[in-house]
Structure 1
């Protein structure tokens, strides 16, 4: 098929997007497809014309645009199939506060949270106990995240996020084990245990993408009941957000063994060190097979919508 591989963009995760696109392009070539890279940052106006001529668009964008549903909406207007979540699900999942509100409505356990918007006169007090995590409400790869140990440091952490032009999500810290679980179609993949490298406070950008970053063990060495609960919560989050194709949800497990869902990613990373390819490999699916399955799911979703 003639494809466009949409990657890059102008978010703080641009480099991660382009890094993953390189491996995806090679996989698409091995699968017999012709893929042309299209970067919204340099050719935004070319997206719709290119999509009208393409058989499929493979998205590898992180942050906005991409995970916010904008590009997906443009592709739908152009009548071009693509993999993964549609515009609505993408928008809801990227907005951490909206996603957490939906988790709670579904009965999914998530850390207590507050949203700060940076409007004039907004009180910079928080009734949640420290330590707290402060993060951009829209974004990923842990960019802009801070761990706040004292109430008097909250303002500085909020300013860090506001300087990025974002609202800030303040979230209760759940000390314990970090797990992540991907969903592919209607099944949860093996759970992954994440151990941040020594001396780091959390699973930050360097832990995620550096060669000497966090240790990621798949399948996670946890008991079967916990793994099943995490997989069930990942599937539930996938469904409550209305996601199609695939996703990956992140969790913290407290001292009582209770998993708390943190967020759901609609365009999980596809770099050589990313978690989704690692989970797929543990399930018996190599990288090329994973890419092929994502294309198949995208085409199937398009066909189903055409019938409906």
Structure 2
């Protein structure tokens, strides 16, 4: 297949995207596919650019990207449709996180261009990226979620309805960027300001102590449940991307009935948001045994050690095969909509 990997982007998760793209490109080329790489900020990457940008290292903190925003706007509005590597591809493999690349804007543009792309379509991508709307749809579908408020929120409302500590985070961001665990009323306003640096909409969410688990969905099939044991209290940016900062267990050590229940809820969440191709749905298990769905990721991390590839490996699907399956899900969709 002729495959173009779209990656980079103008969000704080830019280096995460490049890290995933590096391994996707290697895997697909090892299977004999012709692969080119396009940064949604700078355009088509030369072999030298690939060597410089596509590295597995992510870093302890997200990068500063404010100066890239206008360049990405220009590339998406004027440059992307003019690249023959994009318009002539059999499939576009999207390896982008947050922002226009994951939140539906790029997907809508690709629907107009008319080239199949991996992951969810424009609507599902936008719904999943907006945590407030996603939680409403999860709840309506019978998927339990932590209680939440959208800022501005008064400390007394947190005390009454959510309790302390409380999670404060941007509504439309991933990788725990801009997220704070706020332990008392004195820290609430500062945490909202931190989150607002990444998104105009900020969520205050009930903190659920307990175990962090995750379920990948490939096609319409849930993968084995995994458990994440971070070194910090939260599975934050550092724990996600610095080696040795978390332990991931696939498959998780869970009662068979509970594991099946999590898989069923993940599939329900996937369908509630009209997602396609593949996704990853994250949960918390409280000490009392209750399940809470945190979010669905339409373009989950795709390094070999990311959670979805680990889940696939537990199901007997090695990384190169996983990448090929994701491409086929897009190519078999019968339209320009994502997989």
Which of 244, 255, 259 is equivalent to 2:291?
A: 259
Q: What is the alpha-carbon distance in structure 2 between the residues aligned to residue 24 and residue 304 of structure 1?
A: 21
Aligned to 1:27: 27
Give the alignment of 1:96-107 within 5 angstroms: 96-107=131-142
Q: How far 1:93 sits from its partner (Å)?
A: 0.1
Superposed displacement of residue 304, structure 1: 9.4
Aligned residues between the structures: 299
| Distance in 1 (alpha carbons) for counterparts of 2:197 and 2:329 | 38
Instruction: Note the C-alpha offset of 1:303.
Output: 4.8
Counterparts of residues 1-308 of structure 1 (less than 5 Å): 1-43=1-43, 44=75, 45-50=78-83, 51-116=86-151, 126-127=157-158, 128-197=162-231, 200-303=232-335
1:216 aligned counterpart, secondary structure? strand
Query: How far apart are residue 280 of structure 1 and its match?
Result: 0.2
Deviation string 1:79-117 (CA, Å, 9 cap, x unpaired) is 10011100000000011001001011111110001111x
| 1:138 Cα deviation after fit | 0.4
Preserved CA contact (<8 Å) 1:207 1:214: yes
Distance 1:53 1:104 in 2: 41
1:56 and 1:81 in contact (8 A); partners too:
yes
TM-superposed CA distance for 1:278, in Å, is 0.3
- The answer on whether the counterparts of 1:209 and 1:273 sit within 8 Å (CA) in structure 2 is no
Change (3 A) 1:264 1:113: same
Contact residue 196 and residue 203 of structure 1 kept, 8 A: yes
Secondary structure of the 1:302 match is coil
CA gap of 1:142–1:304, structure 2 versus 1, over 3 A, is closer
Is the Cα contact below 8 Å between 1:124 and 1:155 reproduced in 2? no
Secondary structure of residue in 1 paired with 2:16 = helix
Q: TM-score, normalised by structure 2?
A: 0.85
CA RMSD of aligned residues (A): 1.5
Give structure 2 stretches of 5+ with no counterpart: 44-74
Q: Deviations over 1:206-259 (max 9, x none)?
A: 111111121000000011111111101100000000001110010000122111
Gaps of 5+ in 1: none
Q: Matches of 1:125 and 1:3 in 2, distance apart?
A: 53
**TM-score for both structures, normalised by structure 1:** 0.94
Aligned to 1:298, what secondary structure does the other structure show? helix
Indicate how the Cα distance of structure 1 residues 140 and 304 shifts in structure 2: closer, same or farther if over 3 A, else same.
closer
Distance in 1 between residues matched to 2:305 and 2:130, nearest whole Å: 25
What SS class does the counterpart of residue 107 from structure 1 fall into?
coil
Hey, what's the Cα distance between the residues in 2 that align with 1:57 and 1:172? 38
- Report how far residue 125 of structure 1 moved: 5.1
Q: 1:245 to 1:274 in 2, by over 3 A?
A: same
